[in-house]
Amino acid sequence: MLDGIRAACGDARPCQLRPLQLFLAWNGVLVLVYEGFPDSLAGIKGRLAPRYGRENFGSRWPKTTLAATSDTAPELALPELERLRTLCVAHSAGLPSEPVPVKGVEVVEYKWRSLEAEGAPQRAAIPLPGGGGANGGSSGSSVGEEERERVCGLDEPEMYPRLARDTAEMYWSGRGVLEIPPSWPGA
């Protein structure tokens, strides 16, 4: 699997993700959503698609997980999800505008969505070789219209009743997830 992912990264360039909004994903997972996959990362995803098949919903848009519920926690009720959504909307305006540099990708094989249960997740880092300067560069950072549109439809109110259903097993099962490890400037 790693050889295929390394090959897909090929000449991909380091890039930057631009924060867009806070969002409540499946099962009450709080995420920071970016404006879309930059062309460099969209190219990697396009090269991986024929080999690894259909993506889960949540991997179709770039995000960083900020908080997750325990695997054994009861699912959130619709009023709780709506309250959390209201908080996300209210606090999205205060997000920092600095882009997040992406200098590589990381393959993570996991057992639990929190990545903290027995048996640590297996990780393999793959740097993006295409140059781009010390801060991640911007040459591969433009976001195509299709990517922007995919992210813009995320916060539709009719989505929240679907989040309240018991979808955790469907959504979180799997192996070989491609994560984009952000490193905030100055971190």
The string of pLDDT tens digits covering residues 112-168 is 666 665 566 677 788 887 754 444 455 668 988 888 887 776 665 656 555 654 443
Q: What is the pLDDT of residues 18-65, one digit of tens each?
A: 999 998 887 678 899 999 999 999 999 999 888 887 777 777 889 998
What's the chain's length in residues? 187
Please indicate, yes or no, if residue 70 is contained in any of the structural domains.
yes
The answer to whether position 187 is within a domain reads no
Query: Is 185 inside any structural domain?
Result: no
At 102 the pLDDT is 92
The pLDDT assigned to 32 comes to 93
Position 64 in a domain: yes
Angle (CA) 29-34-38 rounded to 5° is: 135
CB 60 within 8 A of CB 150: yes
pLDDT score at 78: 82
Is 184 within the bounds of a domain? no
Does residue 58 lie within any of the structural domains?
yes
Looking up residue 135, the CATH number of its domain turns out to be: 3.90.1140
Rounded Cα–Cα distance for residues 19 and 184 (Å):
11
The 10 Å Cβ neighbour count of residue 98 is: 12
Mean pLDDT estimate for the chain? 75
- DSSP class of residue 135? T
| Within a domain: 186 | no
Please check the confidence at residue 104 and state whether its pLDDT lies above 80.
yes
Mean pLDDT comparison of 15-19, 87-91, 106-110, 157-161, highest-scoring range: 15-19
Domain extent at residue 102 = 2-179
Number of domains in the chain: 1
139-159 as b/e: b if 16+ CB within 10 A? bbbebeeebeeebeebbeeee
Where is pLDDT greater, at 70 or 34? 34
105's enclosing H/E stretch is strand 104-109
- Which residues, including other chains, have CB under 8 Å from residue 186's CB and lie 6 or more apart? none
Tokens at 50, concatenated: 């024929």
* 117 belongs to a structural domain: yes
Instruction: Summarize the confidence of residues 87-110 as an average pLDDT.
Output: 87
